[in-house]
Amino acid sequence: MDELRFDGQVAIVTGAGGGLGRAYAKLLAARGARVLVNDLGGDTTGAGADPGYAGAVAAEIRADGGTAVADPNSVAEPQAAAQIVQHAMDLWGQVDILVNNAGVVTSVGTLDQVSDQNFRTDLYSAAGGTFHLMRAVWRHMWDRNYGRIVNVASGSFFGMGSAVPYPAAKGAVIGMTRGTAVAAQMRERNLRINVIMPISVSRMTVHMGEEVCSAMGRWFPPEAVAPVVALLAHERCPCNGEILSVGGGGFRRIFLGATPGYHQQERPLTIEDALAHFPEAMDTAGYRIPQHALEEAAMYPGKVDWDAFLQFIA
């Protein structure tokens, strides 16, 4: 098989000053991409700033013969995020790839222990940053009819007993990915927007304790995630709007399915009906994977012309 390369392409990787982002940036650069290495350089809670993180990774790439420039802007602020994209445009005149990797963890505890500031900080970094960067680059990619966006969510979306803001932010990233991917697909644009749930050691895994971090570093290094990210960033990306779990040398599809459910048309549904037929609604046999929201709505019987509403998601 021919080597998959990125010669002549420009990539922005956020949160690339270490860990997973560093691995993504270095692999893309090693395969020929010019990379804007973005990182505010704050700690894992989002506090502080140090341009040295991004600068060090950009220097590593250049020492290895690649092309990279550091960018210290924050993804959490709309104007700063727009400056990240403008920085790449000023340098190289185009953006082909965006990897939205930046994020923070501000709190570990039960719901009643989460402050308003914790919630805002997590949302503004992971979800807000993803939104700001995608919005800033969207028209450029749309008009060129080419772009690859890889967003980074988390398996915490399945639920964590010790955190609330972080899974909430990552769930929002999945929603944004699906929405933009459907819009591009409906208009037949050569844009591919996918999302990964990486399983890897990182600065954020320090919250799990030294023993867990040590084991994850051995079995789940950042470099094991990078190849799938690079594939999703490539012109031969084989999917759109998908969620992939990646780690430890493997990857798998994560999907949202809808059960056949229970439908009652002869009379209005009552509370008692809902209780009586709850097992049927929960039965996963015969599930479907809706491609968009209206396709799921069309699974309910009725005479609504759902196709007429496609303009709202296209």
Residues assigned a catalytic role = 166
Q: Which amino acid is at 271?
A: I
Nearest-5° angle of CA 91, CA 78, CA 97?
45
Q: State the sign of the Cα–Cα–Cα–Cα dihedral 69, 72, 78, 79.
A: negative
Distance, CA of 256 to CA of 287 (rounded, Å): 10
End-to-end CA distance of the chain: 36
The DSSP string of 185-229 is: HHTT-SEEEEEEEE----GGGGGG-HHHHHHHHHHS-GGGTHHHH
Distance, CA of 235 to CA of 175 (rounded, Å): 23
Tokens for 31? 């395969």
User: How many CA atoms within 13 Å lie on the side-chain side of 196?
Assistant: 27
Distance, CA of 173 to CA of 155 (rounded, Å): 12
Beta strands across the sheet bearing 67-71 = 67-71, 34-38, 10-13, 97-100, 147-152, 191-198, 243-247, 250-254
Nearest-5° angle of CA 59, CA 192, CA 133?
55
